[in-house]
Structure formats: structure tokens, C-alpha cells
Amino acid sequence: MADNLIFILPVVTLLLFLLNVLFYGGNNVQSCLIFILCFLPLMNLKITKEAWGGFRTFDAITFYCIIFLFKDFIKFNIKNNGRFYFLLFIMLSIVIILGGLVSEFPNNPYFNLVRVVPIFIFCRFFILECKKDPEFHRKAIRALKVSYLVCLGFLFVQMIVGLRFTFYPELHNNVVDPDFNMIRYPGIFYDSQVSGQYLAMGSFLFLYAEEGWTRKRLWLNYLIYPLALAGVFFAGSRSAVGGLSVGLIFVFLFAGKQFRMYRAIIIVLLIIGALFALSPPASSPQQGIIGRTANASQDYQFRQSLWKEAFGIAEKYPFLGVGYGNYQSYVMKYAQDQYLEIEPGTFLYFDQPENGYLKIAVELGFIGLALVMLFILVPLVNGLVYYVKGITDKRSVLLMASLVTWLVAFNTLYSISEARILIMVASMTVLIIAYPLKKLHVYEPEEYQAV
């Protein structure tokens, strides 16, 4: 059944998009963006083979937008934000093309560039729509909540029904660990670590309150947060838990007064989770991060050896790297100890060094890494400065905390090859860039004052 779904779902997704354009939302930027955000769980489905680029449903929709909505793409000028990010994009494109041309591993650098263009098209349209329609910021957050709830619900159903509840023919080999008798639930994702990152990032959306909300609606959103924590827990990703912890600290440092009562609830839940992790029950198989503490030191030593080797490769090619997408090719030739034996006689060479930053540094050089990080860090720093100066309200801290959570978790997994993580990271970045500025007063709901 999963073998059939992996071919059927991309077709269904694109048909739904066309129906939305023709009969429901209309052929406009806002309709297309809302569709992407609401149907985020379906945006990583492949519509071409890897040999033909491995393009996904997200890529097809963004290419549709740039072709049929090109006027909207160029007609609205953002004087301040647009020029800087456009310059970063041009510089990154040059690094990708030159890196591909000088690499000893043959590939098509122009084809590689086409594969990274969709996310920049998406961000450009997203920023323009937020600037053009002040209400779109709120609509986008609502759409992200809808897709998050779908993913969270999928994970809980999977826990009840079992791992056969998936549309992937096979799941990542980290989902079931026979050596430690452990299950790490991936939910709607292929990889449980990616699932943990997504759930950790998106959880902060449910601490975000809109103007005019009643106490009932506010706490209904708040009560989803413990469910999100449970989802991260059962995804079994320590990096996601670590990122979530840092994100929560970030919120408490800058907006703690608004979440005083909820902070106590979260701390209690985290303590309970830690107790379960340190004293696992006798149930078999163990689930989530239960039992993973036993091999934490061994995992760290293994990753540390990969990191040292990857950093050494990056030092050899500091400017342009080994070429975008060439990490595995390099390892197969020069670092043949980086493999997993998935079954006797079958070896899988690593395509990343268990660290997102080092993966970028190896493939694009330190220049490419700096450019990629500027896309994230400049909006994050600007958002924090705006908040400290009182230009934005305290809800912006939640979006920044989501990005901080991912930045921490990215240290152990190159996750942006997964379109849904990439879209979530891009969306949080854009929401910070285009965050509504204060006019006459800061909105602080009455319910916030109570807590």
C-alpha cells in the first residue's frame, strides 16, 4: 500500500492545488502560499526521480507561481529588506556554480542551482504578501498551525496503529534500533530526527495569541503545547529536545512575565519526562528517548569523529567546498570509513557528517556557510533588536525561539534537505522579517496579564 501511495499522493497534491487555484482560493499569491502552508505535510513528495533532479511537489508549486504570477513577483518593491537578501542570494548562487565547476566530482552546477531556487521564490512571495496585506501574517501562522496539528495527529495515530501507518515503503534505519530495543516514531516523516525538529520548532506557534482571543481559545492553544512536547519525546531526538530547551529558555528570558504560570507547567512536564528517561519502564520495546541515555556517550564519540573529519575536509576546500551535493561522493573516494552496514554485505556511505553546519561547510566552503547563516542570523538579530527597542511586541519572541530551537538541533542533523523543515525554517524567518511593527500600543491580551 505504501508503495502505491508514494506515487499517488504527489498527483493528488498537485490536483488539489489546481482545484484550489481554479475554484476555491483563486490564482493569486496569497492562495498559493496558504495552500503550501496548510498542506505542508505533502510538500516533500517527489515528482521526479533523483536522476532527474528529485523535484518535489513544493518545487512544482513554486515554479507555477513564478511563471503565472510573475507580475506579483516583481511589481512590489521592498526598499530596505529586499536588496540585502537579494545580494546574499546572488553571492550564494555564484558559490554554488563556481563550486560545481571546479569540483573534481562531475555534476551540473546550474542544475544544482535550480534545485535551491524554489525556497527563495517562496520567501520572496511570502515577504511581499506580508508587506502588502498586514493580515496575512496572522493567516500564515494559522495555516502553519493547521499543518502542525495534522503532523502531530499522524504521529499519535502511528503510536496506536504501529509503524505500518506511513506512506513510505521503508522508514529510516534509525526508527527501530534492535540493539537498544527502541522505537523512535517518525510520524509523517521518513526520519524520526527530522520529525523531532519539526515538532519542536512548530510547538511555539501554540503559545502565540491573536488579538481578541477569549480566555477559552487562548488556553485551548496552550493545552496543545504539552501534546507537542510528548510528540518530540516519542520522536526520540535528543537534539530536538535540546533545541526545544534552549528555545524555552530564550522565551523565558525575554517574555517570561507573560508566561509565568505556563512556565511552571512546562518545567514540571520536563522534569517528569526526564524521570521517565532516566528510569525507563519495563515495557518492551522502549519508546522515544527512553533508553537512549544509555548510549549517549557512545553516540557523541562517534559523531565527534565524523565532525573532526568533516572539518578537516572543509579546511582543505575553505572557499568553495567540494561542490553542492558532493559530500557522499567525496566520502566514497577519500573517507571510506564513513559508512553504515545496513545488512551483511550492504554498505551505506554517509551523505552528511551528522552536523548541518559542517555539511554546508564541506560542500560550499566557509564562504557558503557564512552566506547561508546570514539568511538566518540577520533576521534573528534584527528581530531581537526591534523587540528590545519596543518596535515589535513580545509575541515576536516566540517566532525567534522557534528559529533558535532549529539552530541548536541543526548541529546534529542536516535537516533542510527535507522540504518541510526547509519551509518551516523559511517561514519563521520571513515572519520575523515581516513582523508587524507597533503603532500606538503593544497588544497584550487580558489573559496574559493573568498569568
- For the chain, give every domain's residue range: 2-293+353-450
- Compute the average pLDDT of residues 16-44: 95
Three-state secondary structure readout of 147-167: HHHHHHHHHHHHHHHCCCCCC
Contacts of 96 (CB under 8 A, 6+ apart): 109, 112, 113, 116, 324, 364, 368
pLDDT at 292: 46
Render pLDDT for 76-85 as a digit per residue (tens, 0 to 9). Answer: 555 555 789 9
Burial of 19 (0-12, 13-18, 19+ CB in 10 A): exposed
Evaluate if residue 3 carries a pLDDT over 70: no
Residue 442 has pLDDT above 70, yes or no: no
C-alpha cell at 211: 488579538
Mean pLDDT taken over the chain: 84
Distance CA 150, CA 138 (A): 19
Q: Which of 260, 253, 166 is nearest to 449 (CA)?
A: 260
Residue 97: other Cβ atoms inside 10 A: 16
- Quickly count helices (H) and strands (E) in the chain: 17, 5
For the cut 80, the answer to whether the pLDDT of residue 89 exceeds it is yes
Predicted confidence band at 283 (pLDDT cuts at 50, 70, 90)? very low
Q: What is the pLDDT of residue 280?
A: 39
Q: What is the pLDDT of residues 359-395, one digit of tens each?
A: 999 999 999 999 999 999 999 999 999 999 999 998 9
Q: Does 130 score more than 90 pLDDT?
A: yes
Q: Which pLDDT score, from 0 to 100, does residue 1 have?
A: 54
For residue 341, what are the β-bridge partners?
Answer: 347
Q: Is the pLDDT of residue 264 over 60?
A: no
Instruction: Specify the pLDDT at position 377.
Output: 97
Q: Work out the average pLDDT over 202-210.
A: 90
> Do the beta carbons of residue 193 and residue 292 sit within 8 Å?
no
**Can you tell me the distance from the alpha carbon of 170 to that of 90, in angstroms, rounded to the nearest whole number?**
38
CA-based nearest residue to 237, from 209, 265, 277, 272: 277
Helix 29-38 and helix 57-68: axis angle, to 10°? 170
- Comparing 338 with 84, which gets the higher pLDDT? 84
- What is the gyration radius of the CA atoms in the chain, in angstroms? 22
Listed range (210-224, 244-258, 436-450) with the worst mean pLDDT = 436-450
For 134-138, 224-228, 447-451, which range has the lowest pLDDT when averaged over its residues? Answer: 447-451
Angstrom distance (rounded) from CA 128 to CA 41: 24
- Between 22-26, 181-185, 258-262, 359-363, the lowest mean confidence (pLDDT) is in 258-262
Q: Are the C-beta atoms of residues 400 and 432 closer than 8 Å to each other?
A: yes
Q: Is the predicted pLDDT of residue 70 greater than 50, yes or no?
A: yes
- In order of 31, 66, 84, 279, the CA distances from 26 in angstroms are 6, 15, 31, 54
Residue 433, C-alpha cell as written in the block: 522579517
| Contact between 114 and 66 (Cβ < 8 Å) | no
**Is the predicted pLDDT of residue 297 greater than 80, yes or no?**
no
CA nearest to 283, candidates 218, 234, 327, 346: 234
| Cβ 157 vs Cβ 98: under 8 Å | no
What is the strand order of the sheet 182-183 is part of?
Answer: 176-177, 182-183, 286-287
Strand partners, 347: 341
Question: In the numeric block, which cell numbers belong to residue 372?
Answer: 547561508
In a 3-state reduction of DSSP, which class is residue 55? coil
